[in-house]
Amino acid sequence: MQPAQPDLYPHARRWRDHQPQYGHLIGSAWRDASAVIGVTAPATGRPLAWLGRGGAAEIDDAVAAARAALAGAWGRSTAAERGRILQAFAALVLSHCERLAWVEAHDTGKPISQARADIRAVARYFQFYGEAADKVHGEVIPYLNDYNVAVVREPLGVTAHITPWNYPAQMFGRTLAPALAMGNAAVLKPAEEACLVCLELGALAVDAGFPAGALNIVTGLGEEAGAALTRHPGIDFVSFTGSPEVGRLVQEAAAIHHIPVVLELGGKSPQVVFADADLDAAATSVCKAITQNAGQTCSAGSRVLVERSVLDPFVGLLAARFGALRIGVPEEDADLGPLINATQQRRVLDFIENAKRDRLPVITQAKVPTQHTNGYFVPPTVFGPVNADNPLVCQEVFGPVLALQVFEGEDEAVALANGTEFGLVAGVWTRDGARQQRLARRIVSGQVFINCYGAGGGVELPFGGTKRSGHGREKGLAALEEVSTTKTVVNYYG
């Protein structure tokens, strides 16, 4: 066992086997864990930390603390006051950026530069929504004579947030900042696989001035703490990011109490490359879109659709990009790191081995450096051409595995792009302006990028899916509508 660096984990409640052990953050106070879950570092396979294994009792207390916050100082706060606290928190996060980035990098295995970008994104979420908090206005409706009708915007109440392990820090910012800006009190159940940074961020939120109970964090297993939270009668909204299977359970639980849900359930996002495109730029983007975060991104570009007439040159460019990939542990700051755990590694390796067994052509496969045998690494691999009914086209792999499909003409490109159950993100590469517009309309997806992909993940840009990728919008001002409601006040003064 390798001793952890205490400076990275100042808010650990205890130390156990030389590893930090965290409690739950309920009502701005730490609650010792009555049971624990071990966390492993994906890059080394070694023990990293201990998390509380919360359940129904901790969730009850967290929901009660949130309810009390709404009845107290937090519920009485003005929008401007809330905005100032969110912005103070953003500044505090930035001042701890390096430490938080290392916590995130060790916990997820991602390259340190990516982890730093993720922490800056957390600050940006709280800055953006902090600035927006007092700029969300209601409206006055011209109605009958002698009536004044105001439509005012109000928080939903207690919001529940269930987040995944691929971007623990970013998800913290993405889901909590809009909810808190609108005056809700939140309970977060982050993923048990990786969430140390959420606990450190939670501690900084207390320092930044969020009143007791405005933000509560209970860690634990999905089927225990997660299920207890989504079924709890005291919550008024659920935001969930994760698998479609659990998304269905979350929506079923929410239906019991008729509360709204935002579901972000991943995708099988295509990039469509036409013969007239800048093939060099497209190849670079296609490689990055499937290898960033080792392919563990809901919006990963996991399919590339290539027009037949440029198949050979494009395949050459793609093979060169994959051949140049650097794979390593966070400290090496390579292009990609390991997957999150042995289960995900086995799952993705199975996809690769099954495809090879089915004699699917391998276009290119990068090599994992031999010194990294203990981490959960998977070699980035491109298969193609792949038929539309192949599992690599239909199922979310959630690893660095790209499926290449071939098309002739616009209609076939659209049919293939829309040919899965998902609809999260799409990329279109063409210099033809009219075709850009046609494709943007014909592709069924929450986002369409033209001659780019991802565009830096801007906080300002509404994000979410259609079809099996989920519903509701996060990011941008659109997120504020999901976590608030309107009240129509009709005043007769005649």
Ligand X SMILES: O=Cc1ccc(S(=O)(=O)O)cc1
Ligand Y SMILES: NC(=O)C1=CN([C@@H]2O[C@H](COP(=O)(O)OP(=O)(O)OC[C@H]3O[C@@H](n4cnc5c(N)ncnc54)[C@H](O)[C@@H]3O)[C@@H](O)[C@H]2O)C=CC1
Q: Using CB under 6 A, list all residues that contact ligand X.
A: 166-167, 170, 297-299, 454, 457, 463
299 binds, among ligand Y, ligand X, none (CB under 5 to 8 A by kind): ligand X
222 binds, among ligand X, ligand Y, none (CB under 5 to 8 A by kind): ligand Y
Distance in Å, CB of 413 to ligand X, minimum: 24
341 binds, among ligand X, ligand Y, none (CB under 5 to 8 A by kind): none
Q: In what order do the strands lie in the sheet with 484-492?
A: 139-141, 147-155, 484-492
Distance in Å, CB of 129 to ligand X, minimum: 14
Q: In what order do the strands lie in the sheet with 36-40?
A: 14-16, 19-21, 47-52, 36-40
Q: Which residue among 17, 154, 223, 350 contacts ligand Y (CB under 6 A)?
A: 223
Considering only residues 374-403, where is the footprint of ligand Y by CB under 6 A? Answer: 396, 398
249 binds, among ligand Y, ligand X, none (CB under 5 to 8 A by kind): ligand Y
Q: Which residue among 85, 191, 334, 363 contacts ligand Y (CB under 6 A)?
A: 191
In angstroms, the CA 310 to CA 313 distance is 6
Q: Which residue among 20, 164, 213, 427 contacts ligand Y (CB under 6 A)?
A: 164
For β-strands 261-264 and 270-273, DSSP reports them as: unpaired
Binding to ligand Y by residue 474, rule CB under 6 A?
A: no
**3-class secondary structure, 26:** strand
Output the CA–CA distances (angstroms, integers) from residue 107 to 35, 40, 115, 142, 330, in the order listed: 20, 7, 10, 55, 10
Tell me which residue has its CB nearest to ligand Y.
222
Output the CA–CA distances (angstroms, integers) from residue 230 to 179, 316, 409, 464, in the order listed: 16, 48, 46, 20
Tally DSSP H helices, then E strands, for the chain: 16, 24
Binding to ligand Y by residue 242, rule CB under 6 A?
A: yes
Binding to ligand Y by residue 155, rule CB under 6 A?
A: no
Q: Which is nearer to ligand Y, 265 or 315 (CB)?
A: 265
Q: In what order do the strands lie in the sheet with 261-264?
A: 29-31, 24-26, 215-217, 185-189, 158-162, 237-241, 261-264, 470-471
Binding to ligand Y by residue 107, rule CB under 6 A?
A: no
Considering only residues 291-330, where is the footprint of ligand Y by CB under 6 A? Answer: 298
Tell me which residue has its CB nearest to ligand X.
457
Q: Which is nearer to ligand X, 40 or 170 (CB)?
A: 170
Which is the catalytic residue, given 224, 264, 307, 482? 264
For β-strands 447-450 and 425-429, DSSP reports them as: parallel
Q: Which is nearer to ligand X, 130 or 168 (CB)?
A: 168
Binding to ligand Y by residue 246, rule CB under 6 A?
A: yes
- Give the largest CA-CA distance in the chain: 82
In angstroms, the CA 414 to CA 36 distance is 49
Binding to ligand Y by residue 224, rule CB under 6 A?
A: no
Q: Which residue among 112, 250, 352, 425 contacts ligand Y (CB under 6 A)?
A: 250
In angstroms, the CA 110 to CA 340 distance is 9
Active site residue 200: no
454 binds, among ligand Y, ligand X, none (CB under 5 to 8 A by kind): ligand X
DSSP state string for 416-461 = HHT-SSEESEEEEE-S-HHHHHHHHHHS-SSEEEESSSSGGG-TTS
| Residue 358, token pair as written in the block | 């089915």
Plot region of 348 (φ>0 → left; ψ -120 to 50 → alpha; else → beta): alpha
Residues that bind ligand Y (CB under 6 A): 162-164, 166, 191-192, 222-223, 226-227, 230, 241-243, 246, 249-250, 264-266, 298, 344, 396, 398
The catalytic site residues sit at 264
